[in-house]
Structure 1
Amino acid sequence: TALGVLAPGGSFVIKLFTLFEHTTLSIVFCIAAFFEEVAIVKPSMSKYGNSETYAIGLRYKGIRSVFLRQLTRAVRVDGFLDTAIIPRSWIPQEFYDQYVAAARQFAQWQEQTIKNNLNIWNEGGVRQNEEQQLREAKRKFAYMWMQKFNIMPISPSDRIAYWAQGKRLTGAQPNTTREKPRQKVQGLQQDRMDHKLAYDDLQIARKKKYERQSNGASMGEFFTLDYHPSSSSSSIGKRPRDGS
């Protein structure tokens, strides 16, 4: 969809997680084919221990409508999880080698960070004075960034998002708009897949309730539906919010 609406010369950013998969390789190759320049980066503010990376395409060259239709059709179904979007034979060996080298480099950095975190944990965690130094460094970095890019405060009347009164960016919690900690699905890949299936079932049930509005179903009934992740997924943590 993004390739269909982006103007020639534009830029494109997509969030990636696991580079060692054929789907991610296909995505990055597509970006390289339709942009004059592509880079895989990990922002300095992204936690070093996770696999979050971003692919950035610069100077969009455009895409033919016939290819866009085929590409859209390929990613609309779950089949591409087992079948590569782009055949391996289409990908030049030089590009493939560069991609694998980048994937290994990010994996090595992530592995080293995880080992360092485990060592800190085994030694009793971050000391209070060290934690204070880290927060102070974050505040200084934020101040330097605001000065460099001339970021100015806006009037409260111009804000478009909820503002939690009295909250500050201390470095401990960068989000000031969420009153409670975000609840995430934890555990194995299978746990996440079970959660997604349960959530999809919830949306289908809500849609059916909504479609029966004219037959007497109330809006209250529509919003009281809930979902329950599989009981066998014991490693799932607290139930994520579903918007109900």
Structure 2
Amino acid sequence: MNKSKKIRHLFDKKIDFANNDSLELPDEAYTCTKWSIPSFQNEKEELNRTKSLLNQFNLEEWSRHTKHRDPSSYIIRFVKQKFHPELVTQAWCKFYECLCNYSLIPKDAITSGCFSSFHLCEAPGAFISALNHYIVSHNLNLQWNWGANTLNPDYEGNSLQEMIPDDRLLRHTYKNWYFGIDFTGNITKYCNHLDLVNKIPQKVWLVTADGSVDCSFDPGNQELHVEFLHYCETLTGLALLKPGGSFVLKIFTMFEDSTICLLYLLNVCFGKVSVFKPGSSKSGNSEVYVICLHFKGLKVLDKIWDSLIFPYKTGHFDVHKSMFDLNKINKDFLNQLLHISGFFMKKQIEHIVDNIKFFKNDSQNESGRIHQIKVYVANRYINKYKLRSISQHFKLVSALDISQFLSNEINKIQFVNGVAKFEVENLIQMNITCDILDVKLGERFNQVRSSRFCSKDNKFLNKIKPHGPFYKHIENKLKATSTVISLDSNFDAYCEFQKHVFYQIFHSNKRNFIIVGVPLLTNFLVGLMFILVSCFKQIYIHRSGFIVLCEGDLEKNRQVFTIIDESYRSGNNCDILQVVPPNLFYNNNFFDFVWNYNQIVLIPE
């Protein structure tokens, strides 16, 4: 196959399901015994046999090799250099392709001039940025309202391994993001599904779902590990969509009963369903996008909704049950799906085998050929989809350039004789009033699993430096006029420690505070310190790991502390997760103050 045909094929990996008007849903869901289909399982075994050939290679070497040979790997670079999109990533490029290949913005929305979308599992926000770029560059002149959900990077009970902590868009569009009733952002929890559906009473024209989970520990069963997430994304998407709307769902392979049933469900609920692998998607992986157009409305599901949503309510699938009885699924649909699944599986296998062939037999000529292909593919992408730049004024964050990752540039504290002195007005350039409070209640966590307020190579708990003799000297000197807060006491859960810290502050009548070796890792503690510090005139950090607050008056913010106390009293089984908006910390020197202090207190891994 010559080069031009290969490139055309790269951008033409899509198959439509045939007319689905004759498909009917069973009368109930999750009542039949678990089943599998041998022909689909044979495809799974064939793909896994090919994947197992990779076990002979060093993982890092193989990753470098496949990245080098990926024909789409120049697309992001070319798009970024020529058009400067906002938040351009591989996800941006993939979704832009979806937008260009399918009418995801329904004609009724374009006619009315009002368009709404919601984006599930969306961090860092590339789909939103791509959609904005598409709308503006195509002069659609739409009044667009959008919302998004993702695992909350401000919830310290979420692990860094489970989420994307890139918040360069999120921090500037915070009001558009929904993290559920427990503040975790976890859409696989039914309480968050209900909260989201209730908070978005106006149905939307487009829902996207780009979620996944880390399956590197068991890549041969990726589909099984993501099946519950895809089910939750789908049911939430259907509940948010208005009739005539569109739904985009990322999936992987299509071998298991859960995916077969999910695709059958979507074919019944939508007028047209396609499976699409964008040219900018890595050819060696299983990812594809299910494109669903012309939603028929939730009324289609009236009879089975209660049984369909039952696993969502329980939080898991019954391992002995399938969504639908196999005998109730249209045979023509199964034949179509077997063909579609086989098509994408074979393309993936071809690419893996090709990469294996050249792993040990690469040459300068081959590298030159690959380079030419990658340039050709990137230019083909730009020309095929007629990319254009848009004005900074029309970007989501018009006042800033967030195209590059905005890492915090921390100003290091200067110590003199082991002590750094601060004037409060230089740390917090605002008055603390009840108006700035933004108290969030949510799910308690026992251990800090992620933190914005320290480097990622630090352990979050139980690695506190031991108290040195200087602590005792300071404590003895100031104990008559000071409240001392430390980690000396034992707490089973970090949330209990946070509550303990608050009530030490709330009940204090002292003019000075000493914070001894307490890592400020959570939005709650940092927000509490933000409020506390504002009550004092001078602050000192000692290099050995403690803070001294001098000449304070807690009555200055008594009303603020009282509101937090009332929140604790009314919180029932929830915990307070933040007391002020996280964005406040990035607009002054307080973030640098906290970061530097944590670097002193925490011991690196």
TM over 0.5: yes
In 2 relative to 1, CA 159–91 (structure 1 residues): closer, same or farther, beyond 3 Å?
farther
Q: Percent identity?
A: 22
The residue number in structure 2 matching 1:60 is: 295
Q: CA deviation at 1:56?
A: 1.4
**Aligned residue in 2 for 1:108:** 346
Q: Name which one, 1 or 2, has greater alpha-carbon Rg.
A: 2
Who is 1:182 aligned against?
none
CA distance in structure 2 between the aligned counterparts of 1:21 and 1:45, rounded to whole angstroms? 26
**Distance change >3 Å, CA 38–CA 83, structure 1 → 2:** same
Name the CA distance, whole Å, in 2 between partners of 1:100 and 1:44.
Answer: 22
Q: Partner amino acid for 1:209?
A: Y
Larger mean Cα displacement after TM superposition, 47-56 or 207-216: 207-216
Q: Does 1:132 align with 2:371?
A: yes
Q: Name stretches of at least 5 consecutive residues in structure 1 with no aligned partner.
A: 165-176, 180-201, 224-244
2-side partners of 1:96 and 1:159: how far apart? Answer: 51
Determine helix, strand or coil for the equivalent of 1:9. strand
Structure number with higher helix proportion: 1
The structure-2 alpha-carbon separation of the partners of 1:178 and 1:24, relative to structure 1 and needing over 3 Å to count, comes to: farther
Conserved 8 A contact 2:445-2:494: no
Letter in 2 for 1:220: L
AA of the residue aligned to 2:447:
A
Task: Note if contact 2:446-2:495 (Cα within 8 Å) is conserved in structure 1.
Answer: no
| Cα distance in 2 between the residues matched to 1:96 and 1:43 | 24
Out of 517, 520, 529, the residue aligned to residue 220 of structure 1 is 520
Deviation at 1:150, TM superposition (A): 4.1
1:1-244 residue pairs with structure 2 within 5 A?
A: 1-64=236-299, 67-76=304-313, 77-80=315-318, 82-124=320-362, 127-145=366-384, 148-154=386-392, 158=398, 162-164=402-404, 177=405, 205-206=447-448, 209-210=494-495, 212-216=497-501, 220-222=520-522
Contact 2:445 2:495 in 1 (8 A): no
Is this contact kept in 2: 1:13–1:56, CA < 8 A? Answer: yes
The structure carrying a bigger strand percent of its residues is 2
In 2, Cα distance between equivalents of 1:82 and 1:206: 35
- How does the TM-score come out when normalised to structure 1? 0.64
RMSD: 3.2
Higher relative contact order (CA 8 A, sep 6+): 2
1:125 deviates by 6.0
Return the alpha-carbon distance in structure 2 between the equivalents of residues 15 and 125 of structure 1. Answer: 36
Aligned partners of 1:21, 1:214: CA distance in 2, in Å?
A: 46
Tell whether the 8 Å contact from 2:245 to 2:294 is kept in structure 1 after alignment: yes
Moved more, 3-12 or 87-96: 87-96
Aligned residue pairs total 188
Q: Distance in 1 between matches of 2:266 and 2:496?
A: 40
Contact 1:51 1:107 in 2 (8 A): yes
Which is worse superposed, 82-91 or 120-129?
A: 120-129
Query: 3-state SS of the aligned residue for 2:372?
Result: helix
Aligned partners of 1:210 and 1:222 also within 8 Å: no
Unpaired stretches in structure 2, ≥5 consecutive residues: 1-235, 408-443, 450-492, 503-517, 524-605
1:149-187 deviation per Cα after TM superposition (whole angstroms, max 9, x unaligned): 5443535871666233xxxxxxxxxxxx488xxxxxxxx
- Aligned-pair CA distance for 1:121: 1.2
Q: Structure 1 residues 137, 62: closer, same or farther in 2, change over 3 A?
A: same
TM (normalized to structure 2)?
0.28
Shift of 1:120: 1.6
Give the deviation of 1:59 after TM superposition.
0.3
Which stretch of the first structure deviates more once superposed, 71-80 or 103-112? 71-80
The SS at the match of 1:116 is helix
Q: 1:103 to 1:178 in 2, by over 3 A?
A: farther
Instruction: Find the aligned partners of 1:205 and 1:130 in 2 and give their Cα distance.
Output: 51
